[in-house]
Amino acid sequence: MMSFWTVYVVIDALDECADRDGTRGQFLGKLLDLQQEFDVRLMVTSRDNPDIVSQFKYSLTLEIQASPADVKRYTGSLNLCNATRSYREKWKIRLVRQWMAC
C-alpha cells in the first residue's frame, strides 16, 4: 500500500458476513488499524446492526432506506413472464414485504 497515496476499500452488505467466531469484528479491526497507518478510505454498507454500528461510532454515516415505490419498481422489473399472473403478483407482494422488513 505504500506505493499508493490513497487506498479505497468498499465493503457491501457487511451484515451478511456471519460473526459466529468474531471473524467480522477481527476483519473490521484490521481495516481500522490500516487506517491508522495509511491513508485508507472505507465505504461500508450494512443493515442497522449494533455490533457494526459500534465499530463506526466515530465515522461519518448516512442512513438510506428503500421506499415502497423503489421496491415495487424493482420487483416489477423482475423477469417473471413465465409465471402466471396471480403467481407473479403473489411474489411481488412477498418480495415487497420482505425487503421493507429489513
Give pLDDT tens digits for 15-52. Answer: 998 888 888 988 988 988 999 999 999 999 999 999 89
Report the run of H or E that residue 43 belongs to, with start and end: strand 40-44
Residues paired with 40 in a beta bridge: 7
pTM of the model: 0.64
The three three-digit cell numbers of residue 84, written as one number: 402466471
Provide the b/e sequence for 71-84 (b: ≥16 CB within 10 Å): beeebeeeeeeeee
Mean pLDDT of 57-85: 78
Q: What band does 14 get if pLDDT is binned at 50, 70 and 90? A: very high
Q: Report the distance separating Cα 46 and Cα 24, nearest Å.
A: 12
Which CB contacts under 8 angstroms, 24+ apart, belong to 34-40?
34/1, 38/1, 38/2, 38/7, 39/5, 39/6, 39/7, 40/1, 40/6, 40/7, 40/8, 40/9
Which grid cell is 48?
A: 442497522
